[in-house]
Chains A and B, each alone.
Chain A
């Protein structure tokens, strides 16, 4: 009786997994298929591994995907660095330092978590336009060096608070100032939370569409999502194979990060409801 029930649950789960992942597998397979059979071939195994869609798709737009991937990578790396640095410094101030107005600013910081991006989008655009930053990566990167992602600050404050205070106190007795405590004690002990921050910063930035859409108009500055969108609007209807090939490459980094850091990502979601 119990075995039959377990078997049934497994059957249902395997069925559900297959239905959910079938479109993804089919897309991956179709990226190797010739254009003529994509619309009729339901198989998730291509007849053979023909990379011509990849070769042609790579050069299908005005600029090659080499440019788009370098742009995306550059932005993502800068955002990761910016978030890890600025959020940890801010979190250290909130978690460990004593100063007047701390509680007030902490509440304000939590308040920005609730702020939908729509409300700041237009004035920020006007600001960046005045600064002459349109068609540069600066609007996408500079805010991250000023701890604009309050979510990560919150995450790090939680983490820092769990580090025993005895460590700081011992360091103070040894004559360490706050900067050395932050740099020599807190950061080395915070690798897990820094890794979580880095991973989610990367995933979100890599997938980000609205930011690049608003700030980048020049094709040579396009990120991968922008390039895909330009691709689908121009040649999309006649070149699904190439489009799929580039789509597969676009999600591949995300998929690999997930493969390597699965535990951290799933724990991150479970503990704090991170999603995107």
Chain B
């Protein structure tokens, strides 16, 4: 390569990196550095005031060995997700299929169903939820008015409090619904017509056409919802006044992490919690991706 070509290439690189610089700085300072730092901190005892003390695997040993709240927080988070994700996606798919039939006002329904997704994560809605499911709240008032039943104090009762958060999540089925609708548009309608002519009923058409054609979208929604589920924080925090109670029944993993870090200032331990979560999410995503080839059918597949 001659000198002038070399110089031109240097110049090209220089311009490229000049444009990339803001992101590159941000990446090093706000992502790469912190990820490495939190890995280091997870092996230390650190209270923000004194310098971190290396304690080796102590945090992890304590977490898996003797920390009851850690296991409890995991259990709460998984219970929440096992209920919330399938229910939400089922509703989303059902409503999307109803709207895909070319009925009048579909776009109005779609917009209205999306409103809860738009607002659901906000503190205002969590505040509303606290009233709705209080002992004398709206839900019980409606039950009393309609059926004459005196309902329990849903949030104050540890047996039911988590279900109010599940309901809050399912209520926000609008965004997976919109993604399903976009997917349903791609399914060629002549497939249904052909199947109908062959005498396939509604259930068979759903099983044999809709579901296989929609599998990539279901998969995408599932991964998205699982990741969102792990990250959920605001509702649990506001509804339980930051405690995760009663009796830790709403102690999401994220909430536990927040308490360890910013209420007790056990930054080292909280970093270890964060790394465990990172690995759990990583494993989950990897499983979804590796198994997807067995149950997700892509149109350009040779199968």
A→B interface (CB under 8 Å): 6, 9-10, 12-13, 16-17, 20-21, 23-24, 26-27, 39-40, 42, 86, 89-90, 92-94, 97-100, 102, 105, 108-109, 112, 114-127, 129, 143, 145-148, 153, 178, 182, 203, 207, 209-210, 213-214, 224-226, 228-229, 232-233, 236, 240, 243-244, 246-248, 250-251, 254-255, 258, 262, 265-266, 269-271, 273-276
Contact = CB atoms under 8 A, between A and B. Distances in A.
Contacts of A86: 22-23, 26
**Which of B116, B125, B224, B241 gathers the greatest number of chain A CB atoms within 10 Å?**
B125
Nearest to A111: B31
Interface in B125-144: 125, 127-128, 130-132, 136-138, 141-142
B133 to A, nearest CB: 10
Nearest to B177: A269
A232 B275 CA distance: 33
A165 B12 CA distance: 18
Interface stretch (B34-42, B59-67, B188-196, B207-215): B34-42
A123 B38 contact: yes
Contacts of B141: 39-40, 42
B19 interface: yes
Interface string B162-188: 000000000100011011011000000
Interface of B: 12-13, 15-17, 19-20, 22-27, 29-31, 33-35, 37-38, 41, 48, 95, 98-99, 101, 103-104, 109-119, 121-125, 127-128, 130-132, 136-138, 141-142, 145, 171, 175-176, 178-179, 181-182, 220-221, 224, 227-228, 230-231, 233-234, 237-238, 241-242, 254, 257-258, 261-262, 267, 270-271, 273-275, 277-278, 281-282, 285
Given A123-B41, A148-B26, A236-B130, 18 more contacts: A20-B112, A20-B115, A23-B132, A24-B128, A42-B141, A42-B142, A102-B16, A116-B274, A118-B257, A118-B273, A121-B274, A127-B29, A146-B23, A207-B122, A228-B123, A258-B115, A275-B175, A275-B176
A225 B122 contact: yes
B221 A273 contact: yes
Contacts of B34: 119-120, 122-124, 127
A146 B22 contact: yes
Contact of A89 (B22, B112, B254, B267): B22
Contact of A20 (B15, B116, B127): B116
Closest 5 CB pairs of A and B: A99-B16, A146-B26, A123-B34, A247-B124, A123-B37
B274 A23 contact: no
8 contacts: A20-B171, A23-B138, A147-B26, A248-B124, A251-B122, A254-B122, A258-B111, A265-B114
B123 A209 contact: yes
B241 A9 contact: no
B266 to A, nearest CB: 10
Contacts, number: 251
A9 B26 contact: no
Contacts of B125: 247, 251
A146 B30 contact: yes
B267 A126 contact: yes
B153 to A, nearest CB: 13
Contact of B35 (A98, A119, A203): A119
Nearest to A6: B103
A118 B115 contact: no
A244 B128 contact: yes
A199 to B, nearest CB: 11
Contacts of A90: 19-20, 22-23
A150 B22 CA distance: 12
Contacts of A255: 115, 118-119
A163 to B, nearest CB: 16
B37 A275 contact: no
A147 B179 contact: no
A99 B230 contact: no
Given A17-B112, A23-B138, A115 B261 contact: no
Contacts of A210: 233-234, 258
A269 B23 contact: no
Contacts of A16: 95, 113
A99 B110 contact: no
Given A17-B109, A39-B141, A122-B271, A116 B23 contact: no
Contacts of B29: 127, 146
B118 A225 contact: no
B113 A225 contact: no
A93 B19 contact: yes
A266 B111 contact: yes
Contact of B241 (A129, A233, A243, A244): A233
Contacts of B171: 20
Contacts of A273: 175, 179, 220-221, 224
Given A23-B138, A26-B138, A122-B38, A232 B119 contact: no
A147 B27 CA distance: 8
A13 B270 contact: no
A146 B121 contact: no
Contacts of B25: 146
